[in-house]
Structure 1
Amino acid sequence: MSADNIRDQSTDKSVEGLLLEAAKANEPTLDDHLFSVFSTLEDNPESSLEDYEIMYDFRKALHEKYVIKEENVPYGYFEREQRIARERGYGNIPITEEYKRQEIEVIQKDQEQSLDIWINYLTCLDSSHLPPSIKYWILNEVVKLGRYDKATQTFSKRQKDTTAPFVELSAEALAYVSETLMKKYGEEYINLSDDIFNTKIEFGKVEELKAQGDKVKLLDGSDIQDKGKVILVKDDNEKIIPLMKKDIPYMRANVEEAGGVENIEDSFSKISRKLEELQSRRAQVLK
């Protein structure tokens, strides 16, 4: 299907039609889990794509969050499959634990493979023309789509008990959605979204360093208790915080490498202000 054909199908309710409707109606949304995983590839996409471990962890994290869990597969699914088998002349297949296990494996494998198609496309060099914020938005929307209803030509919202695979990928449709987003929000908005995306990655790293710096400050205080493998410290609110002894050298080394606690706090303040400024500028673009 060409991009021109997609444009002409104003009543189309296929995946490209649904994505297009969402693109016209909604500002891209953020899922914290998806953001944290997706950001690992945006740091250095070419080397990340060649790193099997990074890609494996990326897929695994998405599978764990979005692929149906065994306990969420509804019993009605097995009854429906049993009925279909009977109607096709296979007899009355008993719903045993082994039968359920095999069916669940098929459901999960189908969902993993269908989600991997999206992951592979959005993380490959063929999609490098798409801005990071749009790639992120697309994947974030795809994981919300459930089963396609041919009668109503609509997708249901994906729930924790959705057994259907993820929707089929259409690269041409994605190109059109990207173009639509560009037209709707404008180049300035998209560029600011990319800046925010990258700044949030940087913010997350500094935030983690700041948390380590805060703990180092508490360790350097007087109110500490040595409990063997654990050190107990108190924060400013008198809350007791347990710290594993084995983690302390690692934290101190990170803080020292970053220039010390004061330098980390200064960096945290600067990156926080930068993020607020970018978000404010992006909000102004839509007014």
Structure 2
Amino acid sequence: MALEDHLLTEARNPRTTEIDAVGALGIVQIMNDEDVKVVEAVRAEAENVAKAVEWTAERFRRGGRLIYVGAGTSGRLGVLDASECPPTFSTPPEMVVGLIAGGQKALTRSIEGAEDDADVGAAEIADMNVTDRDIVVGIATSGRTPYVLGAVREAKKRGAATVGVSCNRPSLLGAEVDLDIAPLVGAEVISGSTRLKSGTATKMVLNMITTGAMVLIGKTWGNRMIDFTPVNEKLRIRARRMLRELAGVDDARAVELLAACGGKLKTALVVELAGVEPAEAESLLEAHGGQVRRAVEAKKARANAS
């Protein structure tokens, strides 16, 4: 019996054997029913995902990187999540990176055989000078893609934290990494089409890792994205609006605060809410992991104690 015959993601789904006979609405309803299972599969991995969030935030605090490695759909999802971090969280593009077997061409077309070369995966990690400050997340729905296995092995040699995201357990990937995340979504609607439930589960996990880590390092206050420097009129308007809403100031004061803080919204918020000068606001943010809420609360606690 071939290895593929043991993979949950390659199994035949008994609930979709007649999907070609139910019409458009039937197809949609079947797919929706199957997708409901994805949420629970990801929920079952919550503790492992949370650990990956914490590890990633810790690497970010040390100036390290999050590096996704995958092939095919898995690789595309990693590149997608990485590419959305700069516009969403104002991060430098090198902070979250996506590597895909076959390179940029593989984003829009299948590069035959690219995923089967473990040496290429290892070489690409070496070329990035991965160190113990970084975290490498290997993404492989099957849990056995050679390109990904080669990458995580090289990353471990270099002292990086390694995480595997797959939809099979046990798996070769799970055995190689420091942390195994495996939402078991079951057989796909179309046998072996892992861009469906497996892809949805993978995207959910990757979203949680980056979003959670960004929250932990202070990129947000509540559910507001506040770590940005207003470099154009749209962002200047947004920064003033957030100061008005979060700090309760009028627009003139918002303009004054941003000017005094070099346009840094987080600093301006701490200046107003903690009643300090910009230099002290910067120190408070640095001492409290970049989190505005903690910086303000710490200053108020010291003031109340004195």
Specify the TM-score bucket, using the shorter chain as the normaliser.
Answer: under 0.3
Which has more radius of gyration? 1
Structure 2-normalised TM-score? 0.25
Q: When you count helix as a share of all residues, which structure comes out higher?
A: 1
